Amino acid sequence: MTAAATHSADIRPAFPGMKVTQARVIKSEWTKFRSLRSTKIILLVSIILTIGVSALICAVTASHWTRLEPGDRASFNAVASSLNGILISQLAVGVLGVLLISGEYATGMIRASLTAAPKRLPVLWGKIAVFAGVVGTASIVSTFVSFFLGQALLTGHNLRVGISSPGALRMVIAAGVYLLLVGIIGMALGCLLRNTAAGISSLVALFFVIPPILGLLPKSWSDKIGPYLPANAGEAFWGHPEGSHLSPWVGLAVLCAWTAVAVALAAVRLTRYDA
């Protein structure tokens, strides 16, 4: 690390106009993002899962509508059904977030990045900015496509709703934002743990393992803790299921708090410990 820093200091005077700026760091991170085949594949998988799983759920619901129990019909939410694919695609987005940082630690490329930007934090902000721009856009576009495709499949039994229906637009946008925040939490875990397997395992535990385990605990515990887990808070934000303990905006605030804490811990880890 010392040798790399010395070498970097030696070459900087030769390029006096090449000052390290946040904009240049973002451009560098964008180059790395689009040059990796794995990022494109995982992003494509997340889009396919968001749209494909939601379409499958809507198609099956429409085809079995006459055989559903009255209670299931009464609780049916056409908007949420057309967005339920994100319950699966969130894993792909989270894994992508983990890999974008842990992959650099695995290859040693992170040392070059931090040598070029010795203040370190611009590298983290650059990664988050690129991730938010690309994955955020892809997620919101995919949730809109998922919504309109799902509603088209629900037309047969007059189950479909329009985007102007109460809460529909909010839920569609919220679903895309939820995927983005899951991915940023994944990035933070990748930066904190600096290991792909550990980062993905922690992500899976946080979003897929702990919530159902908590449901096995006494109701007095699960009702107090469960709603504030990121997965449950996120579902309250984008889906607002019946009986949810949190309003959509409180769910967003809780999810943003989880994201902010994870990123803050990652920033501390990045600045205080050697790569």
Element (H, E) at 135: helix 121-153
SS (H, E, C) 36-102: CHHHHHHHHHHHHHHHHHHHHHHHHHHHCHHHCCHHHHHCCCHHHHCCCCHHHHHHHHHHHHHHHHH
Token pair 């721009």 is found at 133
Pick from 74, 87, 85: which is nearest to 159 by CA?
Answer: 74
Domain extents for the chain?
Answer: 2-7+19-272
Pick from 129, 122, 270, 97: which is nearest to 199 by CA?
Answer: 97
Q: pTM for this structure?
A: 0.89
Report the alpha-carbon distance of residue 60 to residue 68 in Å, rounded. Answer: 11
pLDDT in tens, 109-121: 888 888 888 888 9
In order along the chain (275 residues), what is the average pLDDT of each group of 10 residues? 40 53 89 90 96 94 85 86 95 96 89 85 94 96 96 86 91 96 97 94 95 86 89 90 81 96 95 79
Structure tokens at 4: 């790399």
pLDDT in tens, 121-143: 999 999 999 999 999 999 999 99
Query: In this structure, which amino acid lies at residue 16?
Result: P
Eight-class DSSP state of 220 = H
Report the alpha-carbon distance of residue 174 to residue 194 in Å, rounded. Answer: 30
